[in-house]
Every structure is written in structure tokens, then in C-alpha cells.
Chains A and B, each alone.
Chain A
């Protein structure tokens, strides 16, 4: 079945780096744009980043621009989020999410992973 599984979360000190992964299965990963969305503890959802199907273009929320990098490996059906210069306010559950359709990356977030928790603390 269609599935997304995030990994790589953990506890990291402020200013340090962390890389998240999202393993996709059950669909043709290389044809879909992919997103990262986060949720701070007890707070709402926040869109983080989008990468087009072939990795040619990437888009970021202002809150992470210049610090986070989204990438993908279509040969291994995996999405990544490299997070540098981490701050306490980056503490959140990070979800990867797939759009509803392969040909419209701006459509709704249809498939979600279970999320991976990132805690930024000294």
C-alpha cells in the first residue's frame, strides 16, 4: 500500500545539524512533488518545504529558508530534509507528505507519514 516512513529525528543541540529521511513505497515516487510539514508540540501544522518531482526546483517557508535543504533520491524512493543551524523553535514532529495527484504539486497533502520528532535543546 502507499506508505511514507520518516526517520532520523532525535535530540540535537542548538546550532547543530540533523538530516531527516522519508522512505516512500507503493507509488511511483519519481513522478510526485513531495513536501515536508512540521508541527511543534501542542501547536498547529506548518508547511516547511516542497521539491518538484525531478528535484529541479525547491521551495521553502521563510522560517527555514537558508538553513534547511530539501532533496530527493528517486533511484531509492527517498526524500530528505537537511536541517542546519537548528534553533529551539525548530522543535517539532516532522512529516513528509505527498500531493493528491502526480501532475499538480500544489494540490492537497494526501498521504502523510507518521512523523519523526526533532528536539532542539542544550
Chain B
């Protein structure tokens, strides 16, 4: 499976919203409920921020939301804060117990 396609960068001012897309195929994003999103600050391990397309782990603020339509998933971060500046990766189950990540998006808070 090829990496899922994400825009290299996205940005917004504090308090604004930013939306990141994640495009795959019917064999991964479009075919399963197992789409998740990860936040990674420089030099740190990734952190799960959304799972099973729309679910939020405990402790993740409700400023984070996500959706899926066809082969494209999206993550929206509302009310941008300085700490939201990070790299974001989507991931999808790709069948036969394999997984694929997105290319990553660097979010900048202006």
C-alpha cells in the first residue's frame, strides 16, 4: 500500500480552525472504520488524537474532530492554540492485518 496523501502544510491564526485531508483508496481509508489521527511534536513520540474515524480518546479536547467521506478522511482542529503546532499523521487499516500512514502535515499556528 502506498502512503496516504496529506497536504505538506496547513496553518491558521490562534482561535481559528484548520482542516487536514487524508486521501487513500477503497482498500484502506474507504474500506474500513479504522482511520486514526496522530499528533507529533518535534522529538516526541506520536500521540493518538482521533480513532475509528470520529472518536476522541479521553483527555483529547473536543476542539479536535474528524470525519470521512469515501476515500478521504479529514481532521479539524478548532480554536487553534500554540500547542497545536505539530506534525499530524493519519493512519488506516489496509486489510490483512496491515496498516498505512499518511505522508504527514505540518500545522503552523501563525
Contact = CB atoms under 8 A, between A and B. Distances in A.
A7 B101 CA distance: 24
State the majority secondary structure of interface residues on A: strand
A95 B70 CA distance: 30
Contacts of B91: 45, 47, 108-109
Contacts of A47: 91, 98-101
A61 B99 CA distance: 8
Interface string B93-110: 100111111111000000
A37 B3 CA distance: 14
Nearest to B99: A47
Interface in A20-77: 35, 37, 44-47, 50, 57, 59, 61
Contacts of B93: 106
Interface centre among A47, A113, A115, by most chain B C-beta atoms within 10 angstroms, is: A47
Interface residues of A, number: 22
Interface string B42-56: 000111100110000
B65 interface: no
Of residues A35, A45, A47, which shows the largest number of chain B Cβ atoms within 10 Å of its Cβ?
Answer: A45
Interface residues of B, number: 25
B34 interface: yes
Nearest to B50: A108
Contacts of A105: 97
Given A44-B3, A45-B38, A107 B101 contact: no
Given A44-B89, A45-B89, A109-B91, A59 B48 contact: no
Given A44-B89, A45-B91, A47-B98, A110 B48 contact: yes
Nearest to B44: A114
A12 interface: no
Given A95-B45, A114-B45, A44 B98 contact: no
Contacts of B101: 37, 44-47
18 contacts: A37-B101, A44-B101, A44-B103, A45-B40, A45-B101, A46-B101, A47-B91, A47-B101, A59-B96, A95-B45, A95-B46, A100-B51, A106-B93, A106-B99, A107-B51, A109-B91, A110-B51, A115-B45
